[in-house]
Each structure stands twice: as structure tokens, then as C-alpha cells.
A and B are shown apart, each in its own frame.
Chain A
Amino acid sequence: MRPAQDETVGSLADELAALRRIDRDRVFAILMPILVLAAAIGGWEAVVRLRDIPPYVLPAPSRIAITLVADWPTLSRSLWVTLRITFEALLAAVVGGIALALAFTRSKWIERSFFPFAVAMQVTPIVAIAPLLLIYLEPETAVLVCAFVVAFFPILSNTALGLASAEHNLVDLFDLYGATPQQQLLRLRLPSALPYFLGGLRIGGGLALIGAIVAEIAAGSAGQGAGLAFRIVESGYRLNIPRMFAALLLISLTGILIFGLFTLISYWSLRHWHDSARRREL
């Protein structure tokens, strides 16, 4: 009797210990990056204060935060411009990418004819194309086109790959039941392509922001249409280094936000079925 009882108690204790371990792991996973970030910012602040580094060389984090609040009216306007251009470009890239990918699956000839152009557009660095576009287009349109060009390719190629990777047996099954091309597209090819498309969207989202920033720096446009990149260039000319950092911080946060948003969308749309959205059972 006795040993059996001990065993039960032992296993319960083990279980509790295991649960605590999981809790501890989770706390660590959240706490550690925060601690490291706080240490880095704290160290930065300390170095600037101890060495008395002037803000036009390296501003302290506290100074950047103050600038961010003080210049918020200007910076928020620019943030809005950058966000709008990024998402407009991304929307155009999604619509264009899906449409061309669908055309590719319809006809090998369309694919053969257009794919080289898509590749050429992708491999030519956007910094090199931007000045050229600025000759022919209004600055804001040129920025939009640059952001579109870089976001377009990953969405196109991923979606095309996804549309072509429907399981062969399922295609046979659809044929057996006499599915129309529309049914096959809607019920088979589009769902099969979804994980690939979402992967392309996540890459394209980040690239659209980069494209917009690069083009804006090349354009150097001022006034109402000035985005965050222009604020960086402008603050650099004026030796307003804290504001440069504040604008840079906003760009980083925007990139993180876009990535987080699409990761979430991807997770929510795939959580029932795709391995990428599943936790492995250990």
C-alpha cells in the first residue's frame, strides 16, 4: 500500500514541477528580450551621459523619446504618408500578383511571355530604378510604383507556385466529379495556394515599406507628401539627429507592425489545417 501511495504523491509532485517549468519557460521567453532591450537602452543612455556626448553626434534615448513627443504632429503626418503609400502599393501588388498568377495558370504562353519581365523587375535594385521613375512620374506616384515593384514579385511567384501545387489526386477527384474550371479554381486551387500566398504577402509587406522608403529618399520630396524617409533626410541636413532617430524608430515600428499583422492573419487563416500554424506535439 505504502509504496503505491508514495508513487502517486511523487507523480503529482512531478507533474506540478513540470507545470511550473512550463510557466517559467514562458515567463523567460517574454522577459528575456525585454531585459536585453532595457539593458541596451540603459547602457546607451549611460554612455551618452557619462561621456557627455552632444546630441548632434549621438542623442540619448531619453532625448529621442522627448523629440518623438514634441515633433509628433510633423512625424505622425509623415508616418501616415508612409503607411498609406506602403499599403496602397501592397494592395496593388496583391491584386496584380494574384491576377497575373491566375493568368499564368491559365496559359503557359502567358507565363513564358511575362515571367522574364517580372524577374527583371525583381532583380534590378529599386534604388537604381527610382531616379528614372522620378523623371517620368510625379514624386508621390513614383514612390508608389517603386514600393509596388518590390512587393509585387514575391506575391506573384508565391501565388503562382501555390496555384500549381494542388494535390494531383485531388485534381483527379475534381475531374471525376466533372468539376467546372471555376469550381476547380475556387474549391481547390485557391485554397491550396493560400499558405503560399500568405508567405508572399508577409515578404511583400516588408518589401513594400522598404521600397517606399528607398524611393522617398531618392525623391527627396517635401511638403504635404513628405513621408518618414524624407524626415530622416531633412533632419540630417539640419543636424537634427534626435529627430532622425525618432523617424527611424517609427519606420522600424511600422515594419514590425506590418510583419506582426500578416503573421497574425496567416496564423488565423491557417490554424485549422496548415503545419506552419500548428504547434508540434512533443
Chain B
Amino acid sequence: MARRQASSDTPIVALRSVGKSFASGIRALAGFDLEVIEREFVTLLGPSGCGKSTVLRMIAGLTEPTHGTIQWAGPRPEIGFVFQEPTLMPWANVFNNVFLPLRLRGSGREQARPAIAEALQLVGLTGFESAYPRELSGGMKMRVSIARALVLKPKLLLMDEPFAALDEITRFKLNNDLLKIQCDLRNTVVFVTHSVYESVYLSTRIAVMAARPGRVIETIRVEEPMPRGEEFRSSRLYTEICRATSQALHSAMSPGDEL
């Protein structure tokens, strides 16, 4: 499979020998390098505690690196963030939860209506505007969370193990919907997971990380064109890449990490 379009080879963000040490003395990251190319779906895959979430938080500007630099191609673009939990405001209905980013930017309710309707349609929740989070299933709450992240039409979408708490059937469904959404919106995604299968199914590129301190030890390309469907899950290429990724992940874990 040929490389993706040449125009998209300029990184929109580059992390160069980034390190993060906490006041407790723990080195979460050291010498972390990652370039995120436009319209790419990059997955950070690694054992728990390898600093995957810290990388996302640094890209989002929620925390600063203690070493190294984060370079943006231009001004920092609009960023959407999806957390591991749906992180919805329980006192607000679906409409108001998705409205939040726009409201914080000073947009009025009526003015925001079309964007909210579009975001809800992307995640398949049209008609649920007046439902409260407690009335929704785990998968639906995550869909609301994704709609909220998409409502500002972010160029870059950061997702921190968004489907980890969901059952497998729901997760597969959301995987497919996410790929479709990325195809529609043509945005860039940085996705964190500890599932090998999820990373292979979704990504154009997988950065396998090792822990203590967190760093990239291997990069694996998944040269299957988008959009992908369920048939990719049963293809030989999928199985092969899963095996290679598993091996890389295994070598990322030092013997002491087995627990």
C-alpha cells in the first residue's frame, strides 16, 4: 500500500525529546518523540503507567513538559478532548452538555443549535437532546462526550482510552463509528489505548510505548486504507499486524512490569 498523500506529511504537532517529572520525583516521560501528521490516526499503545495520558494532556496544553519542546505547525489548532470516563455534567441534559464548548466561547443558544444538531447526528444521538446523562447507557454517554469534543470542529481530536470501560460489542460499534466520523470530518486523531486489537483496527500508525520512564520504542504502520470495516478485523493483514504489535508491546514490558 502506498504512503498517504504527500501533502499531509508535514506534522501539525511535533513532540521532541519531551520529558515530564513530577514533584514526587517520578519520571513519567523521558526522551519522548512523536510527530503527528495531518489527517493521521495515531495510537499511543502501552502498559498502564507508561505516560500515555500525560502525552495527551501535554498536547492539549493541560500540563507542561519539564524537558523538551512541543512544536506546532502554526498557531495551536482547535482541540477536542475525550476522557476515559464520559465526564458529562450530570445536571445538564444532552443538548447543554454538547453546547458547553460553544457556550464557553460566548456563543448563544440559538446560534449554536445547528452545530449541536450536526455533532449529535455524527454520533447517532439525534432526538436525545433533552435526555439527562443518568438516563443513558455507558455507550451513549460516551457518544455524547464525543459529540461535545466534535462540536467546535476540532482539527485535532485527543482521546484518552475512551472505550476502555465499555463492553466489547459497544466498543466495536463505536470503533466503526469513530472511523466513519474521522473520514467525514477529515481531522487528525491521537488515541490512547492499552488494547492491541483496538489500536490496529483504528490506527494508521501505532506508537508502542515502554514504561518507567515513558518513551516510544517502536512505531508500526497499518497500511490498510480508510474507511475500514468489519472485514478488516478478520483479514490476514490485521492478524499479522496484531501479532507484530503484541510482540513489540511485550518487549516494551521489562520483566519487572509483569504484575
Contact = CB atoms under 8 A, between A and B. Distances in A.
B103 A187 contact: yes
Contacts of A73: none
Given A173-B87, A176-B62, A278 B134 contact: yes
B104 A272 contact: no
A59 to B, nearest CB: 50
Given A173-B81, A177-B100, A273-B132, A191 B60 contact: no
Interface in A164-201: 167, 169-170, 172-179, 183, 187-188, 191, 194
Nearest to B148: A173
Contacts of A169: 83, 85, 87
Interface residues of A, number: 20
Contact of A176 (B61, B85, B92, B93): B61
Interface in B50-88: 57, 60-62, 79, 81, 83, 85, 87
B91 A183 contact: no
B244 interface: no
A169 to B, nearest CB: 4
B90 interface: yes
Nearest to A175: B62
A176 B77 CA distance: 12
Contacts of A20: none
B131 to A, nearest CB: 10
B62 A170 contact: no
Contacts of A278: 134
Given A273-B132, A273-B134, A278-B134, A174 B104 contact: yes
A33 B134 CA distance: 34
A238 interface: no
Which of A174, A187, A191, A278: most chain B CB closer than 10 A? A187
Contacts of B100: 173, 177, 187
A273 B141 CA distance: 14
A165 to B, nearest CB: 13
Interface string B80-114: 01010101011111000000110111000000000
Contact of A272 (B60, B79, B132): B132
A273 B90 contact: yes
A90 B235 CA distance: 69
B133 interface: yes
A106 interface: no
A84 interface: no
A179 B62 contact: no
Contacts of B133: 273
Contact of B81 (A176, A179, A191, A272): A176
A191 B134 contact: no
Nearest to B152: A177
A266 B44 CA distance: 45
A206 B152 CA distance: 47
Contact of B87 (A167, A177, A178, A179): A167
B94 to A, nearest CB: 12
A21 interface: no
Contacts of A49: none
B83 A177 contact: no
Nearest to B160: A169
A169 B83 CA distance: 7
Contacts of B87: 167, 169-170, 173
A179 B89 CA distance: 15
A178 B104 contact: yes
A273 B91 CA distance: 5
Contact of A274 (B90, B93, B101): B90
Contacts of B91: 191, 194, 272-274
Given A187-B100, A272-B91, A278-B134, A177 B85 contact: no
A274 B101 CA distance: 23
A152 B148 CA distance: 39
A170 B104 contact: no
Which of A169, A174, A194: most chain B CB closer than 10 A? A169
Contacts of A194: 91
A176 B87 CA distance: 14
Contacts of B90: 273-274
Contact of B79 (A176, A187, A273, A274): A176
Contacts of B101: 177
B134 to A, nearest CB: 6
B89 A191 contact: yes
Contacts of A178: 104-105
Interface of B: 57, 60-62, 79, 81, 83, 85, 87, 89-93, 100-101, 103-105, 132-134, 152
10 contacts: A169-B87, A172-B81, A172-B83, A176-B79, A177-B100, A187-B89, A191-B92, A272-B93, A273-B134, A274-B91
> Which 3 pairs, one residue from A and one from B, show the smallest C-beta to C-beta distance?
A273-B90, A169-B87, A177-B104
Given A169-B85, A183-B104, 7 more contacts: A172-B62, A176-B60, A177-B105, A187-B100, A191-B89, A194-B91, A273-B132
